[in-house]
Chains A and B, each alone.
Chain A
Amino acid sequence: MVARTIWLILKKDLLVELRTREVLATMTLFALLVVVIFAFAFNIDTDATRQIAPGILWVTVVFSGNLGVSRVFERERDNGCMTGLLLTPGGPLAVFCAKALGILAFMALMELLVVPLALMFAGLTVPLSGIGTLVLALALGSIGFALVGTLFGAMLGEARLRELLVPLVVYPVVVPVLVAGVELTAVALGHGLAAERTDWLLMMLGFDLVFVGVAPWVFTRVMVE
C-alpha cells in the first residue's frame, strides 16, 4: 500500500512537471545564473581562481536544490493539498518518500545540465578517472540534501516567513554535505587530497544513512495533527 501510494504521488508530481516544466526550468535557469554571477564576481578565467570551482559548483547545487524544494511544496499549499496527501492510504511516510524521490529526480536532472556547463564555463575538464568520484559525490550529496530539504520544506511549507525559515534551518544542517562535496570535487578534478577520498565519501554516506532514519520519523511525528 505504501509503495503504491509513493508511486502514485511521484507519478502525479512528474506528470504536473511534464505539463508545466515549472520546477526544472526554475532550478536550471537559476543554477546557470548563479554560475555566471560567480564567474563574474571571482574573475574565474585565471588559474588561481579555478581552485574555487568546486565551491561554486556545490553552492549552486545547494541554492538551486533549495529553490526546487520550495517550488515543489508551493504546489501543495493551496486548497489543503498537503492535508489531502497526508490522508492517503500510505500515510505520511509515503508522502515523505514520494516527495524526497521527486526532489532527488529534479536535482539529478538539473545537475545533468548544469554541472557540465559550469565546468565548461570555468574552463575545467574532469579527468576520466575522476568522473566516478564526481558522480558519486553528486549522487550522495543530492540524496542528503533531498532528505533534509524535503523534511523542512514540507514542515515549513505553510509557515509564515517560509522563504527565510527553510534556508535558515536547511543550510546549517547540510554543511557536512557541502564540505565533503567540495573536497570530493577537488579530488575528482585532480587538485585535492586523493588520500582523503574514502573518508569524505564515508562521511556523505553516514550523513545520508542518519537522515534516511531521522527525517521520515520526524516527518511522521510532526505532520500528523
Chain B
Amino acid sequence: MNPAPVVDRPAMATAPVPARLPRCFVWLPLVVGALLLAALYCVFYVAPPEVTMGEVQRVFYFHVASAFAGLLLFITCSLASVAFLVTRGRPGLGALARLNDRLAASAGEIGVLFGVIVLVTGPIWAKPVWGAYWTWEPRLMLMLLTVFLFVGYLVLRAYAGGDDRGKRLSAGVAVVGGPAVYLVHVAVAKWGGNHPQVLTGQGGGLAPGPMQWTFAISVAATLVFAAYLVYTRFQHHRLVEDLEDAFLELDDADLNQTRRRAPRPRVRPPAPPTAPSPLGAPEDQA
C-alpha cells in the first residue's frame, strides 16, 4: 500500500512566488529621470521663445511628444490585443497569450495617460493662440474619441473581472479600436481644420537649430518615459498574476490535505457554561 505523499505546506507557500523585481528597477528610473530633466532644461532654457506665439509655444514640446507616445501606445494595445485573441486557447501558446494580454493592458493604461496629457496641454496652448480652449477640429476630435474608446477599454477591464472573460472582452474592444480610430480619422479629416502640422513644418513654429533639437530631445525623453511606465505596469500585471497563481496552488494544496485527513467526528464540543446575564434572559423570567 502506497502512503499518500505528504504535502509540505511551507514549501508550497514559498515556491511559486518570484517576488523579486528585475534589477533594472534600480537604475532605470534614474536614467529616465535624468533624460526628462534634460528635456525640461532644453525646453525652458535652451530653446528660444517663438516669435509670434511667445512663451506658450513651449508647451508644444511635450504636447506633440505625448501625442506621439499616446498614439503609438494605442496602436500597440490594439496589435497586442489581436495577438492575444489569435494565440488565446491554442495549445502551447498560453505563455505568449498572457504576455500579449499584459502588454495590451499596460499600453492601454499608459496610452490613456498620455492621451489625457495631450488633451490637457492642448487647450493651454490653444486659448492664447486660437482664442478658444477647444474647437471641433479634426485632430482634437480624433484624440478625444480615441481616449474615450480606450477609457472604455480600461473600464471594461476593471469591471468585467480579472478573469479570462474580462481579458477577452477588453481585447475585443481594443481590436475594434484600431480600424475604428482610422475610420474616425478619415471621417473627421474631411471637415478640414487649422491644427498646426508640426512634422510637415507648417505652423508649428519650429525654427531650425535649438528649437528643432529641443523638440527631438523632448520626443525621445517622452517616448523613453512612456516605455518605462509601460514596462513598470507590465511587471505589475505579471506580479499580480503570479500571486494569484500562487494563491490558487496554495488553495489546491490545502484542499488535498483536508481531503486526506480522517473525517472529523461530527460532535459539537460541550457549550461553555454561560454566566447568567445581569439583565436576565427571557427564559429566566418564564
Contacts and interface: CB of A to CB of B under 8 A. Distances in A.
Given A168-B152, A169-B149, A179-B188, A148 B176 contact: yes
Contacts of A203: 183, 186-187, 190
**A interface, over-half SS:** helix
Interface string A160-179: 11001100110111011001
B176 A176 contact: no
Contact of B176 (A151, A171, A206): A151
Contact of B159 (A160, A173, A206, A218): A160
A159 B156 contact: yes
Contact of A214 (B88, B152, B175): B175
A169 B152 contact: yes
B187 A156 contact: no
Interface residues of B, number: 34
A92 to B, nearest CB: 12
Interface in A178-225: 179-180, 196, 199, 203, 206-207, 210-211, 214-215, 218-219, 221-222, 224-225
B169 A155 contact: yes
Nearest to A178: B187
Contacts of A106: none
Nearest to A170: B152
A173 B175 contact: no
B180 interface: yes
B184 A161 contact: no
A152 interface: yes
Indicate the size class of the contact surface on chain A. 20 to 34
B187 A215 contact: no
Given A151-B172, A176-B184, A222-B85, A210 B179 contact: yes
Contacts of A180: 187
Interface string B145-173: 11011011101100110001000110111
A171 B173 CA distance: 12
Interface in A112-171: 148, 151-152, 155-156, 159-161, 164-165, 168-169, 171
B176 A218 contact: yes
A169 B180 CA distance: 11
B160 A173 contact: no
B135 to A, nearest CB: 16
Interface string B19-38: 00000000000000000000
A210 B183 contact: yes
A179 B136 CA distance: 13
11 contacts: A152-B176, A161-B159, A165-B159, A168-B152, A169-B149, A169-B173, A172-B146, A173-B176, A196-B190, A207-B183, A221-B88
Q: Which 7 A-B pairs have the closest CB atoms?
A: A176-B187, A169-B152, A222-B172, A221-B85, A168-B152, A173-B180, A172-B145
